[in-house]
Amino acid sequence: MSIGDLSINLATVRPQYTMAQAVDACLAQGITAIAPWRDQVQTTGLKEAASIVRTNNMRVTGLCRGGMFPATDKAGLAAAIDDNKRAIDEAAAIQADCLVLVVGGLPKGSKNLPAAREMVADGLAAILPYARENRMPLAIEPLHPMYAADRACINTLEQALDVCDLLGDGVGVAIDMYHVWWDPKLYAQIARAGASGRIFAHHICDWLVPTRDLLLDRGMMGDGIIDLRAIRVAMEKAGYRGPQEVEIFSSENWWKRPGEEVLATCAERFLATCHLQEKSAKGE
């Protein structure tokens, strides 16, 4: 693997750069893939964002994010479906590999987690034909259980793959190390995802101990306790050879550093991680 297999989720340098500036800074480091967020694309302007991607020959490994389906009533679900169709349009315009879905948590006032998960499946089923028409893969991102109430009621890779099996072609998963590293079924479910061709994205960062903020204190690869090497080897054995996308929310550390330092460190740590993975894959 090489630097060409590295993608930068633009949340990693959100305070430092606009989308155009981030692309220039990535290219200066030899990084040719990004994953922007919808607000970054919208601030730039969809036409201009698409032009930036095309002119610089950037790969877009994903657009963040669609989802947020659970609602208190049918009107709320309908609004979520409409917004997700707009997200599909945006992802298609910038030629993203997939639209990443953070599915949403409990509707306001609800304690019914199974019902929220049913709403997610219903919402996905409603947008899937439109996604297929636009040839836009939908990547469900299971989030750590600490987010079950407010961000994502799908919390394990197994749960996400069960929804994929229910809905069929065009739906897969984004496997984010921050959210799934702890799962005792992780390796079996990675193999399952690979066997069905449903791994659409791979996000990397690290889990710090102690973690000072459960949202905004993600670590740079190598600074925490996630066995990134072992998980990547498992993903490659499952058939996934796609990019690794660095996604770091770090309000008290990396977001306060110069953008070029952040990107250079991402590249350095990525290459170190890949070197170890290649050795492991060869049995060294």
Q: What is the pLDDT along the chain (284 residues), one digit of tens a residue?
A: 689 999 999 999 999 999 999 999 999 999 999 999 999 999 999 999 999 999 999 999 999 999 999 999 999 999 999 999 999 999 999 999 999 999 999 999 999 999 999 999 999 999 999 999 999 999 999 999 999 999 999 999 999 999 999 999 999 999 999 999 999 999 999 999 999 999 999 999 999 999 999 999 999 999 999 999 999 999 999 999 999 999 999 999 999 999 999 999 999 999 998 544 444 444 43
The DSSP annotation for 245-271 comes to: EE---BTTTGGGS-HHHHHHHHHHHHH
Domain ranges, ordered by start, for the chain = 3-281
Model pTM score? 0.95
Is 3-281 assigned to CATH 3.20.20.150? yes
Encode burial over 100-111: b for 16+ CB neighbours within 10 A, e otherwise. Answer: bbbbbbbbeeee
Residue whose C-alpha is closest to residue 167's, from 197, 126, 202, 135: 126
